[in-house]
Amino acid sequence: MSLSSGSLPAVPQGFRLAGAASGIKSKPNVEDVTLIVCDDDAVAAGVYTTNVVHASAVALNRQKTPHDRCRVVVVNSGNANTCTGKRGEQDSLEMLRLAAESCGAQADQALVMSTGIIGVFLPMEKIRTGITAAAAKLASDDKALISAARGFTTTDKYEKIAGRSIEIGGRSVQITGIAKGAGMIAPNMATMLATIMTDAQLTPAAAHAALQTATRLSFNAISVDGHMSTSDTVLLLASGKCSPEPLGGDDLAAFQTALNEVCIELARMIPADGEGASHLITLDVSGCRTHEEAHQIARQVAESALVKTAITGADPNWGRIVSAAGQAGVVFDPQGMSLSMNGFSIFAQGEPVPFQAAEVSASIKEHQETHVELSFSEGSASARFWASDLTVDYVVFNSQYTT
């Protein structure tokens, strides 16, 4: 569901943004080009897909971030501009040039993101029209924020917006993010784009480190279908308008906590909005030797088609969950493993626990979110992971995606 204007976070100081409909998407009058403009030079950091096959936009952004001269981000949806060779690279460079020109900046001060169908050339005349239209209505109000977020979306059912306002050093610091994603979602990262804006002042190094930490806990802990995409990009832009000096020490730690919360909120929205999904699955894995091992187990369970379909059918089939954990490539003592679903203990210390299957099934069926907790006896490390279930609607939608 879309956020109402009354619940929207503020646009941080120093930013204006807008979305425009250029005709890239088949549905008319739907935003498919977004501009995010920094009034002055801003710090920019990025985290990107690890897929060897990636968009030219990803390669161009990697070369530029982190840096402290960002003025504009241009985004198009409906076309990923991936696997399009030299022409695709030139089109990305032209998008950078056009976006920079629209706000009086240089091309090396622009970043670009594209998402949508792979292997199709960008309709550059439409892109030019969209950039011009977006530049003409840049603003920092609720309407502009929603329109810009809508320009990110492809198969999303709704715009994804989150924010936090915190007090640091007696000043109010705003962090606001927009994201997109609903399918082809798997770490590291997914078919998702996100831009997080803040009016805090950060050094490029601090921004990069903060974004890496937040991404590890959020966008790299979600899955819809286990398929890594080619375009995934998360950007952090810091205008510095609310703080005279770069954040450090306890102030930076407070900022990190708020940034983590914003990214986690946005990340959860993605599998909750998974293509055809009927459930958001939250997996908590604890009692492992390291966070990495806990994450590995959680992801293995989350991406099991048998686990996903069990949740779709509200079937508390615990055997699928424990067996998926056992094939994660992590060594553990099965006799120290316990499992609960929605607060019902159904497997403890390596043995089944008597439970009312109908009661657990009803708890899955009646709630959009299903909580799976797996605990082990190997250590004290834990991880949290989010996933969507697997429905007939997902199969039908993705079998007809380009036709």
Residue owning tokens 């792979």: 118
Helix, strand, coil percentages in the chain from 3-state DSSP, rounded to 5: 35, 30, 35
Active site residue 191: yes
DSSP E strands, 263-366: 280-288, 338-341, 344-348, 351-352
From residue 293, alpha-carbon distances to 83, 91, 193 in Å are 34, 41, 27
Q: Are 35 and 147 a contacting pair, CB within 8 Å?
A: no
| Distance of alpha carbon 45 from alpha carbon 159, whole angstroms | 23
Q: Are 9 and 176 a contacting pair, CB within 8 Å?
A: yes
| Distance of alpha carbon 91 from alpha carbon 97, whole angstroms | 10
Residue owning tokens 């998926």: 324
- By C-alpha distance, which of 162, 241, 242 is closest to 194? 162
Listed in sequence order, the DSSP H helices in 141-189 are: 142-150
Residue owning tokens 């908590």: 284
In this structure, are strands 15-20 and 33-48 parallel, antiparallel, or unpaired?
antiparallel
Among the listed residues 84, 191, 215, 312, the single catalytic one is 191
Give me the active site residues, please: 191
